[in-house]
Structure 1
Amino acid sequence: MKRIIIFLCCLHIILNAETTISVDSLFSIGNRYFSVEKYDYALDAFLAILDEVEHPDLYYNIGNTYYRLGDVGQAIWAYEKGIQLSPIHKDLKYNLDFVNARVKDRIEVPKGILFIEIYRTIKRSIKLKDLLLWGGLMILLAAIAILFKVFGILDVLFAFRMQVFLLIVSTLIHVIALDKYWEISDKNEGVIISPIVNVRSAPIDRNEKIIFRIHEGLKVDIVQSQPGWFEIILLDGKKGWVSHESLLRL
């Protein structure tokens, strides 16, 4: 509580001096606190920015700060949020893998057929809007090929083959985009942020309802929610209820 009051007082003094605190300024303040190992103050600065804007680098710094403070679950949540915004952010992915190695209940996803794994990797690595952009570009190029054929700029056979190729590529891209859209629409995940969580057979806080325990940092699927409770399911099929305060939604 003391650190929050001090931090807010500093902001109040700066504001009274008629100085506008920009997001960049707060980011620099957070980085300076982080560099001198004042992680509590750094986190306050980064979270203040999060109230205004989301950015992969911001979530990267928040995750690093939570990790330094020993909050593995919160760190994983921040890295996951950052990867949602930038699936190809190498530092986020590296740190997420590093911190995930510390999760006690880590469940390995069984690997499938090589072709399917390649497809999933491609789908995870590209944003939906980028897929739609590339798909639209392929259609545009196919239309240009038609115009070039009409005006005799391209050989008829070559133009036809180009049209077919571009339309096939565009179709494949849009199929991947549609699959990704369905995945995003259906996805409802969260990260366990409490050190140890009792998973119950029903949304009732009684000891006899405990069916198993999970630990901080585990990523889970959320099946449904009720006031004060989430029903979750793990990768291995285990299902149960956890309290709202033990989980952060992604």
Structure 2
Amino acid sequence: MKKLLYILIALLFVSAAQAQDTPIREANDFYQKGEYEKAIKSYEFVLETHIESPEIYFNLANSYYKTGQIAPAILNYERAKLLAPQDKDVEYNLKMAQAHVLDKLEVLPELFLKRWFSGIRNAFSADLWSYLSIGLFFLCLLFACFYLYSNKVGLKKLGFFFAAISLVLSIVSYSFASTRTDEITNREYAIIFSPSVTIKGSPDVSGTELFLLHEGTKVKVIDQLGDWRNIQLSDGNEGWLKKEDLEMI
């Protein structure tokens, strides 16, 4: 009886996995056949079931791009980049799509150290940084044992040195994992979806008109008030717009 129960549970898991994989396979088939409108609907359906991956976002973005929908294409390239920041294909296609955006904004220079740390942090996923942090912590414990229980002065010194290095690297890895997780969980950036929108100086329809933005432009959401969002551009300019004019990455 117990054996039969295990078999039924295994069959249920297999059936669930196959049911989950079918919509993705169907979307991929439409994409490979060049039926991009159908691919878009299928990929969007998959995402509605809370299944996401860089590949799904990348193919969805390509499908939008092929059908001339630039803002949704950029949005999904950015989502793919968020999950796979080192993917060169995503980066290249994103730049191709951004070339169609009317707003050409300057980017404020970033400190070298900040850019360097960001490059290292984005080299791995949050999960990989977490595993690395755990592994380094166990190494720290191992070297600490050498320091505590060895009778040789040389081994004690080496144990202390490598335990300290492992602990520091473990903390840094944990910090990178935490930051990557926070980037994915708490999305700060958005894409303008309205063909054009006037940015206001205050969260009010009668607020001072500051400048105009067009669809596809990437902005950072720094505050919100009711249906209004306070945004910041890459050149440092700020203003307010309605939340329906943008889509969070």
Provide the TM-score with structure 1 as the length reference.
0.77
Deviation at 1:221, TM superposition (A): 1.3
**8 A Cα contact 1:111 1:117, kept in partner:** no
Number of the residue aligned with 1:14: none
Matches within 5 A, 1:187-202: 188-202=188-202
Letter in 2 for 1:25: T
Map 1:21-40 → 2, pairs under 5 A:
22-40=19-37
Structure 1 residue 216: Cα displacement: 1.4
- Could you say what secondary structure the match of 1:63 adopts? helix
Correspondence for 2:131 = 133
Change (3 A) 1:119 1:96: same
2:192–2:246 CA contact under 8 A, matched in 1? yes
Is residue 2:11 matched to residue 1:45? no
- 2:72 pairs with 1:77: no
TM-score of the aligned structures, taking structure 2 as reference length: 0.77
Deviation (angstroms), 1:179: 5.6
**Aligned positions of 1:4-15 closer than 5 A:** none
Specify whether residues 205 and 83 from structure 1 end up closer, same or farther in structure 2 by C-alpha distance, changes over 3 A only. Answer: same
Gaps of 5+ in 1: 1-19
Deviation at 1:188, TM superposition (A): 2.0
Determine the C-alpha separation between the residues in 1 that align with 2:23 and 2:241: 35
SS of residue matched to 1:76 = helix
Give CA deviations for 1:12-56 in whole Å, capped at 9, x if unaligned.
xxxxxxxx9834322232233233332211111111111111121
The Cα offsets for residues 117-165 of structure 1, whole Å up to 9 and x where unpaired, read as 2112112333334333322221210111233452669933332332232
**Counterpart Cα distance in 2 of 1:181 and 1:32:** 32
Mapped to 1, the partners of 2:227 and 2:91 lie a distance apart of 32
Which amino acid in 1 is paired with 2:30?
Y
8 Å CA contact 2:196–2:214 kept in 1: the answer is yes
Aligned to 1:225: 224
Cα drift, residue 231 of structure 1: 2.3
Residue type matched to 1:199 in 2?
A: I
Quote the offset at 1:60 in angstroms: 0.9
- Equivalent residues of 2:98, 2:216 under 8 A apart: yes
SS in 2 for 1:199: strand
Instruction: Give the aligned partner of residue 213 of structure 2.
Output: 214
CA distance in 2, matches of 1:38, 1:145: 58
Percent of paired sites with the same residue:
25
The answer (yes or no) to whether the contact 1:100–1:106 under 8 Å persists in 2 is no
* Maintained 8 Å contact 1:55/1:82: yes
User: Offset at 1:199?
Assistant: 1.6
Correspondence 1:83-162 to 2 at 5 A: 83-149=81-147, 150=149, 155-162=155-162
RMSD: 3.0
For 2:157, give the aligned amino acid. L
CA offset digits 1:81-103 (Å, max 9, x no partner): 22222333333223223322332
* Residue range with higher mean Cα deviation, 136-145 or 32-41: 32-41
Task: Return the offset for 1:183.
Answer: 6.3
Relative to structure 1, the CA distance from residue 125 to residue 194 in structure 2 (aligned partners, 3 Å threshold; closer, same or farther) is: farther
8 Å CA contact 1:201–1:241 kept in 2: the answer is yes
CA separation of 1:213 and 1:21: change in aligned 2, threshold 3 A? farther
